Structures are given as C-alpha cells and as structure tokens.
Amino acid sequence: MTIDRDLELIAAQQGALCFESFNLETAWALGSLLQQMASSRKLPVVIDITLHSMPGFYAALPGSTADNANWVRRKRNLVLRFLKSSYAIGLELQRQGATLEQKFGLPGADFTPHGGSFPITVTGTGCIGAVTVSGLPQREDHNLVVEALAIFLKQDPIALALPPA
C-alpha cells in the first residue's frame, strides 16, 4: 500500500464519516461503543472524545498507561489544529520528508502526527471535535476509530478500513 493510496482512502473516510448532529449524548454513545469494542478485544487503549475544548468521553482500559493519555492529547491537538486525521497528516509529512516542527513550527511535546485521532465532522458545520485512541500501533489506532465511526453511522466498516500495511 502506498502513502498516496492510504491518503486517498483516508480522504474518503473523512468524507463518508460525517454526522447530521453531534452532542454530548452522541459522544457518550460513540465512546461507549468504542469502549465495548476495545474491551471485548482486550485492547490496552485510552479512548477520548473531545468537542473542541470540552471533554465528552474518556476511558482508560486495562494495560493502557499514562503515556497513552499523553499521546491522545498530542494527537487530538493536531486534529483540532488541522481539522483532519492525525494519520493523514503524518503520512503527508512522511511523503514530504518533513516534520511538524520544520513545516509548521509545532512542538512535539504538544502535537504528534501519529494515527489514532479523527475529526468529528457535522454536515453543514465542519469539524467540531475529535475522537482519539492510543495504545496500539498507529495504523491500528486509526482503523479502530474508523471502524467504530462506521458502525455508529451505519456504514460498512470493512469497506472503509485501511488494509493491513
């Protein structure tokens, strides 16, 4: 799989995975779905749903660490800054041979271009927040979030998933 193909697929995911509306009840329901999925698979992840600066859902599952909470914060910051998937931003930078600091002057202590954070987009409004997972390899973090969004929005999670690298 090439970076260009992954970026095309992520763009399609972002176009398809949009909400008609989203509020704190939606955040709780989506977060609960993600928590159930991760728990049933015994995944050591942290799950976070934030509506810009307001927390909507948070769970740290067995095996996750304080480092995962910090990764969530840094991934989420990136999505809220650029309004697109943290994995897509990381792939774009990789393709360009650049870093966040070189290209945008963003410190690694506060931003990271690793997969696992995805914009919450409301049709007609735009990005209102981010759903973020940390604890797995970045592609798997990304795919877990996309799978949950697809199931929640009644779309085909297999058709929207990135294939294994």
Q: What Å distances lie between residue 140 and 21, 115, 144, 146, 159, CA to CA?
A: 27, 8, 6, 10, 16
Which CATH number do you get for residue 107? 3.30.450.150
- Provide the whole-model pTM: 0.96
d(CA 91, CA 159): 20
The domain tally of the chain equals: 1
Identify whether 120 is part of a domain.
Answer: yes
d(CA 145, CA 138): 11
Domain assignment of residue 22, given as a range: 3-160
The pLDDT, as a whole number, for residue 79 is 98
Identify whether 140 is part of a domain.
Answer: yes
Identify whether 128 is part of a domain.
Answer: yes
Residues of the chain with pLDDT under 50: none
The pLDDT, as a whole number, for residue 44 is 98
Task: State whether the Cα torsion 72-74-75-78 is positive or negative.
Answer: positive
Identify whether 83 is part of a domain.
Answer: yes
